[in-house]
Amino acid sequence: MNVPTPPVTVPQADPGASYRALKGPIDAAVARVLESGWYILGRECAAFEEAFARWQGAARAIGVANGTDALALILRGLEIGPGAAVATVSHTAVATVAAIEMVGATPVLIDIDPATYTMDPAELEAVLCAPPAGLPPIRAVIPVHLYGQPAAIDAIIAIADRHGASVIEDCAQCHGATVGNRKAGTLGRAAAFSLYPTKNLGALGDGGVITTDDAALADRIAALRQYGWKERYISDLAGVNSRLDEVQAAILTVKLAHLDAANARRQEIAARYDAALAGTGLFPPARRPGTTHVFHQYVIRCADRAGVQAQFRARGIGTNVHYPMPVHAQPAYRGRVALGPAACRETERAAAEVLSLPMFPELTDAQVDHICAAIGALG
Ligand SMILES: *Cc1c(COP(=O)(O)O)cnc(C)c1O
């Protein structure tokens, strides 16, 4: 007998819920911009940049069109392009690697530490000491603070410094995560944040923001995002168009005021899942000591992933996989991207086993109870 699968009543992510939670102030902010008659790089973008820099504890913030552009603009700002290599990981959103190639630089992909899914500093050191044959000099390192957890950033910065490489933090998934008493994203040369709707801080469209304490770099990036202009219609640098529009900036300022509470709710949900996993034979995600995890995703590992997904699905619970195929194995990159000596073996194992449970701040207590019951029944 075929048992019909119930509809998904608890989605894995729900960006619409983040709008509905703040509908009144968001609608007012959008109306204000529409009435203002000024839609690109105006006072809303400046206000968001100032608020985000203050919240982040960075000297400067520069709003841009998306997170991929944020990474590419930092590389351009540092004059890293053709003739340079950039080390990052293969267990990431493809955007990290795409940004490196957008500026004409050559990616080299380092394996991950399997407990935290972030860049293995020991392999980074090995690659900087003995780069793959034919690779241009490695001028930058992009650790990704994946799933909301900081990478081993102090070790990575110490290693990169010894080899004269700049560290650019990919903060697309870690808005609000901390390392000691500092925010992730304030430790390297500059940080790139995506503001895609499902991120911890999400626009209702595309958006991105760059932070840095380096005023000269910030000025260069601010010019590069708009045709290289310092003065209107006069390009000092060969730039691009990657602006954050006023509607998104106004929405983001509303949402930023609620980000700390939203992250606290994610952590509360994560603690419930941790408790529900006890005795199931599956394990909660590891936490790096001395850091806070802001749970962009709550990721477990299972040998029988399809079976576990089906058990959730049978109870109407959505899950997702971040990411099912390492970047170096994807058709666009396969066979042509340099890897470190570990050949991304842990990355490949993780890609086969990781599973993301529902995680967004607007999950209700009743939904969390339902998910926890489903976790407890796994087996
Ligand atoms: C989302 C994401 C990006 C890219 O951001 P977009 O805004 O989609 O361009 C880059 N890196 C990581 C790790 C991401 O999760």
Instruction: Tell me, yes or no, if the pTM score tops 0.95.
Output: yes
Compute φ and ψ for 176, nearest 5 degrees: 100, -10
Atom of ligand 1 nearest to the CA of 68: 9
**CB 61 within 8 Å of CB 50:** yes
CA of 95 to the centre of ligand 1 (A): 6
Give the distance (Å) from ligand 1 centre to CA of residue 204: 15
- Domain-by-domain residue ranges, the chain? 1-379
What's the 69 CA to ligand 1 centre distance in angstroms?
9
Distance 72 CA to ligand 1 centre (A): 12
Residues in Cβ contact with 25 at an 8 Å cutoff, skipping those fewer than 6 apart: 254
DSSP states of 62-120 as a string? EEES-HHHHHHHHHHHTT--TT-EEEEESSS-HHHHHHHHHTT-EEEEE-EETTTTEE-
Strands 85-89 and 106-110: parallel
User: Which burial class, exposed, middle or buried, applies to 254 when counting CB atoms under 10 A from its CB (0-12, 13-18, 19+)?
Assistant: middle
Domain 1-379: assigned CATH number: 3.40.640.10
Q: Whose CA is nearest to atom 2 of ligand 1?
A: 172
Angstrom CA distances, 317 to 15, 253, 313, stand at 16, 32, 5
Atom from ligand 1 closest to the CA of residue 71: 10
Ligand 1 pocket test: pick from 68, 94, 210, 296 the residue with the most ligand atoms within 8 Å of its Cβ: 68
Structure tokens at 5: 């699968």
How far is ligand 1, taken at its centre, from the CA of residue 90, in Å? Answer: 14
Cα–ligand 1 centroid distance for 184 (angstroms): 16
Look at residue 3 in the predicted model and tell me its pLDDT. Answer: 64
For ligand 1, what atom is nearest to the CA of residue 173?
15
**Beta-strand relationship, 112-113 and 118-119:** antiparallel
Q: Which residues line ligand 1 (CB under 6 A)?
A: 66-68, 92-93, 95-96, 144, 170, 172-173, 194, 196, 208
pLDDT in tens, the chain (379 residues): 566 677 889 999 999 999 999 999 999 999 999 999 999 999 999 999 999 999 999 999 999 999 999 999 999 999 999 999 999 999 999 999 999 999 999 999 999 999 999 999 999 999 999 999 999 999 999 999 999 999 999 999 999 999 999 999 999 999 999 999 999 999 999 999 999 999 999 999 999 999 999 999 999 999 999 999 999 999 999 999 999 999 999 999 999 999 999 999 999 999 999 999 999 999 999 999 999 999 999 999 999 999 999 999 999 999 999 999 999 999 999 999 999 999 999 999 999 999 999 999 999 999 999 999 999 999 7
Q: What is the rounded CA–CA span in Å between residue 370 and residue 9?
A: 10
Question: Given this model, what pLDDT does residue 7 score?
Answer: 82
**Closest ligand 1 atom number to CA of residue 196:** 7
